[in-house]
Structure 1
Amino acid sequence: MDEPRALVAAVRSGLAAEGDPGKAPEMQRYMKSELPFRGVAAPARRALAKELFAAHELPTVDALRTAALTLWREAAYREERYLAIDLTGHRAYRAWQTPELLPLYEEMIVTGAWWDYVDELANRRVGPLLRNFSAALTPVMHAWASDEDRWKRRTSIICQLSFKEATDTALLTAAIEANLGDRDFFIRKGIGWALRQFARTEPGWVRAFVAGHPKLSPLSVREAVKHL
C-alpha cells in the first residue's frame, strides 16, 4: 500500500475506534450536515491527527495532495474531511505551503460549502498563502470577491483576520464593496467579522469605513462596531 492510501486507511480506522455513536447524531444536527459524524470531539480528533500524521509521513507534496483529496472526496463521515484539512496544515509540510496548493483549497471551499470547513481554510490555509505570496494571491482574492460562489467570496473577505497591521486595506475594501448588496447571512456576517477584527488594530479606519459605507447591512455594522 502506498503512503497516501496507508494514511487514509489509518485515519478511517482511527476515527472508527475513537467515535462515539451517542454523540454523532447531535453533532450532525448542529452542523446541519448531510454527511454523518463518527462522534469524535475536536480534542480527540487533534490528538489522533498528531499521532497518525507522525506515523505516516508523506514524502512529497503530490502525496500530500493525494491523501488530502482522497480523504475529502471519498469521505463517509464529516471528521474525515476535518482530518483532510488538518493534514494540509501539518507542520512537517510547512515548506509545501505555496500557491501550488491553492487549487486544493479552492476545491475544498467550493465543495465543502459550509462555514466549518470554509472558515478554517480561509484563515489557516488561504490567509497564510496570501501573507507569504501576496503578489500571486492578491489578484486571486480580488477575483474571488466577485465570484459566483458565495464561499469563495466569504474567503476573500475573511482571509486577513489574523493580519493586524499587515492587513491589505485595499483588498479588504474591495472584497467588502463587491458584496455590499448581498443579502446572504454568511456574507454579511463575514463582512462584520472582518471589520470587527481589524478594529482591534485600526479602530479609526473601521469607524471611517462604516461611516462611509451606508449600504452596509445592519448585521455587518453591529458586528463591526461591537468593540468600538
Structure 2
Amino acid sequence: MRLALTEVADPGKAPAMQAYMKSDMPFLGVQAVARRTALRRTFAEHPLGSAAEWRETVLDLWREAEYREERYAAIELTGHRLYRGFQTVSTLPMYEEMIVTGAWWDYVDDLAIHRVGGLLSAFPDTMRPLMLEWAHDGDLWKRRTAILCQNGFKAATDTGLLHACIEPSLSDTGFFARKAIGWALREYAKTNPREVVRYVDHMGISGLSRREALKNIPPVDLSRYDSRPSASP
C-alpha cells in the first residue's frame, strides 16, 4: 500500500499539506485524485475474502500508518464497492476507533457522513440509540459524528434525532462543535428551510452555528420563515 502511494507522491507538496491540515503525522505528498487512482488499482489486485479480514486490514493500515495518506487509504478501503456487504452494525466499533484516535475533521467527517451515516440509514432501529449515546459522549469527535451522520439524508432526515444529537453540544463553545451544528442544519435547510429557521430561533442558536445554518437561505426567505414575533411599532 505504501509503495503504491509513494510511486505517485510529490514530496515537495508534503510540507504544505501537513501545515494546512495542522497534522503531527507527516504527509507523503499524494494529491487526492492520484491517491484514489492508485488505491483502486491496489484494492483490485488484493481482494479480501471475508469481513473479518477486511476489518483487520483496515485497522492494520490505520494503526500502523506513518503518513496521513495511509490513514486516508484505510478510510477508502472501508468504502470500497467490494465490501459493501460487510457494512453492518458490527463494523461500528472499527469506525469508533478510527474516529476517536483520528480526532480531526478530515478523518471524522468522511467516516461520519459516508460510513456511520450509511449504517444509520440501513439499520435505524439499532443505530438511533447508539447515535443518541454518542451525542452525549465526552469525546468531541463522537458528538460531531452524531450531529453530522444524517448529512445528505434530505427528506429522509430523522428531525427528532437531528435535534437530539445537536442539543447536548449547544453549550460547547468550541469551533468544531459549533461548526458541526451549523453544517448539519444547513444541510437540512436544503430540504426544510422553514423548520431550520424555526429551530434556530426557538433554541436561541447564535454566532457561528446560526450563520452556518442560515447561510443558504436568502434574506427574503428568512423574513418569510422567521418564527419570532415582530417588534412593536
- What range describes the TM-score normalised by the shorter chain of this pair? over 0.9
Give yes or no for the alignment of 1:155 onto 2:159: no
Q: After the TM superposition, which residues 22-33 of structure 1 pair with which residues of structure 2 at under 5 Å, given as runs?
A: 22-33=12-23
Give, in angstroms, the shift of residue 176 of structure 1.
Answer: 1.1
Give yes or no for the alignment of 1:136 onto 2:136: no
Aligned-partner residue type, residue 97 of structure 2? E
Preserved contact between residue 4 and residue 39 of structure 2 (Cα < 8 Å):
no
Query: Structure 1 unaligned runs (5+)?
Result: 1-10
How far apart, in 1, do the equivalents of 2:118 and 2:198 lie? 27
Q: After the TM superposition, which residues 1-228 of structure 1 pair with which residues of structure 2 at under 5 Å, given as runs?
A: 11-214=1-204, 216-228=205-217
How far apart, in 2, do the equivalents of 1:16 and 1:159 lie? 32
Aligned-partner residue type, residue 206 of structure 1? V
Moved over 6 A (4+): none
TM-score (normalised: structure 2) = 0.92
Aligned-partner residue type, residue 219 of structure 1? L
Preserved contact between residue 180 and residue 217 of structure 1 (Cα < 8 Å):
no
Preserved contact between residue 193 and residue 224 of structure 1 (Cα < 8 Å):
yes
Residues paired across the two proteins, number: 217
TM-score (normalised: structure 1) = 0.94
How far apart, in 1, do the equivalents of 2:57 and 2:43 lie? 11
Preserved contact between residue 134 and residue 142 of structure 2 (Cα < 8 Å):
yes
How far apart, in 2, do the equivalents of 1:217 and 1:50 lie? 43
Preserved contact between residue 26 and residue 66 of structure 2 (Cα < 8 Å):
yes
Give, in angstroms, the shift of residue 217 of structure 1.
Answer: 3.5
Higher relative contact order (CA 8 A, sep 6+): 1
How far apart, in 1, do the equivalents of 2:186 and 2:133 lie? 23
How far apart, in 1, do the equivalents of 2:46 and 2:206 lie? 47
How far apart, in 2, do the equivalents of 1:167 and 1:42 lie? 30
Give, in angstroms, the shift of residue 143 of structure 1.
Answer: 0.4
Which has the greater radius of gyration?
Answer: 2
Identity %: 57
How far apart, in 2, do the equivalents of 1:14 and 1:177 lie? 44
Preserved contact between residue 113 and residue 148 of structure 2 (Cα < 8 Å):
yes
Query: Structure 2 unaligned runs (5+)?
Result: 218-233
